[in-house]
A and B are shown apart, each in its own frame.
Chain A
């Protein structure tokens, strides 16, 4: 069982005090100065290279990695909440801290000065580019690979490189590997190259067929077959009705409520459920899992609603995307053409050529287009035949324009945004950076 997996020779102790203290101090100072989270981790790793493996080795239920082009944050959150509903103390890294130094910083902030962790399990969202390297230091027990989508071309150039990085990291999981059977690259995983057993998750054929653009996973450009390999899914979404989703996990039906509409969120839930089942083994309980979903807050900017203005009951629903697949799946999940729409992208997304790969049929108009790329986005919408009310690159002015639309009680506006605009938009609506605090 899991406790035995932590049979490491590395133990916490006084020798870690200087490194942890230095890291904690550096973290305190960089936070005061509003800086990033990488330096403290870098410092502690330099001072005590054994710190990271020692921290990781103490989690009774081991370390879980969540990898994928889309849905890492949402799924990490789901896995964590399911484990919490089973009574486990869960350590998880805040969004954006998914590279080695950031993970170290977060782990160290949570540890005692002697390098003792307080949680039973670590559920970590990990950047694909560093997954293998981090796996060598954290010895994950369970690894989940969500999907490979045409994304990150800006960073990795070749989609298949992203797939290989995930599969390469997955081979390092000691107990279990969980992959998407509807993903052309991941479904072709070589089970014999894995140390852990392989489980699959996915959506039923009927559900995928009913989705306007399927699941938008990257086609496999290097094999004879561009589609996915036929695999039995240990965790399968069998029905979706708005946010109500039915998943069959290891033969057991579980009804859950996902934080936002969309087949991709349902598939994330199937992935999270089977991941938790592999972590908990015989302790996994369907009722506990369902209870976890019932109480789940939407992850920051994924289906989250906040008031359009203080004292107004009209809400803003942020729909965040970072690439063509996530925008397409979010558009496909809209219950109808929304009547109040803002769409905004800034230079945080450097190349937006892919907006021409997205079908905008789900919209009949956009009220305001904003962000530094407003004119590029408006140009795309013009060629797509979508009516645009106004183009206002300045986000603060665009928000004022959205607030100035005739008020309607109890309804919500739909703001389609990239990550940076979501953060800026939240601030403009009076909701600051609360995610780190909430998730830490």
Chain B
């Protein structure tokens, strides 16, 4: 019997958009496949476990990002080793930005990043809010966006999804792309949270984590009902966004 370890980083400070929901979904889906998952949380000053399969880091305000930067720097070597050995990162919003090459803010005090993701962040005055739909290799990525960031990709990197409704964060002024996958690192600005609404993405994350351990992963029957409800919610959002202009606000 295999046990995978999921680490949620800074659940209090970077966990304001239902981020523990993403963790719960990974755990439930692994259980449905007969794989046990151990969930460990690591806040500021708390150690990372020796063995890690998936690191989840969620969303929060700029002040929270600044609060964790020193601690994150102390954990950088472990996280880099994890990522370079094919370990999975699943990062949302502010958490994803902390793993990028760095964040240029509007107040001039930039936030350093760990450089584990192939983009650099520019905070913008244009805030993008509303439902978002993007086409990806794993199927439609659907959820809610609420951010004021543009992710400028490194050369050779590409967006995971192409936006069909909403604005997105990847590329010039966020037009066109949303989310980034680089090897087994996943970064997204999709909330909802993303994984309950996107079982196809949750399964892509879990396949990557299980493959690294030489384990087969197929979601089991126990999540079938959740997947039916997710599909209904996805249809609702597709219908609500059809022919609708995204909301952009100035901040």
Contacts and interface: CB of A to CB of B under 8 A. Distances in A.
Contact of A157 (B148, B193, B232): B148
Interface stretch (A239-247, A370-378, A396-404): A370-378
Interface string A147-175: 00010011001111000000000000000
B236 A357 contact: no
A183 to B, nearest CB: 16
Interface in A33-76: none
Interface string A352-368: 01111100000000000
A380 B226 CA distance: 9
Contacts of A373: 233, 236
Given A157-B148, A380-B21, A382-B229, A221 B236 contact: no
Given A158-B63, A356-B20, A383 B28 contact: yes
A59 B102 CA distance: 54
A375 B232 contact: yes
A217 to B, nearest CB: 13
B16 interface: yes
Contact of A353 (B13, B21, B226, B232): B21
A39 B24 CA distance: 47
A435 interface: no
Interface string A388-420: 000101000000000000000000000000000
A197 interface: no
A350 interface: yes
B21 A356 contact: yes
A438 interface: no
Given A353-B18, A353-B191, A376-B197, A219 B13 contact: yes
Interface in A201-248: 219, 221-222, 226
Given A351-B146, A383-B226, A356 B197 contact: no
A440 interface: no
Contacts of B113: none
Contacts of B146: 153-154, 157, 351
B230 interface: yes
A357 B20 contact: yes
A380 B60 CA distance: 21
Contact of B63 (A222, A380, A393): A222
Contacts of B233: 373, 375-376, 378-379
B118 interface: no
B21 A383 contact: yes
Nearest to B235: A375
Contact of B24 (A153, A158, A356, A372): A356
Contact of B232 (A150, A160, A222, A391): A391
Interface of B: 12-13, 15-21, 24-25, 28, 60-64, 66-67, 127, 129-130, 144, 146, 148, 191-193, 196-197, 225-226, 229-230, 232-233, 235-236, 240, 251
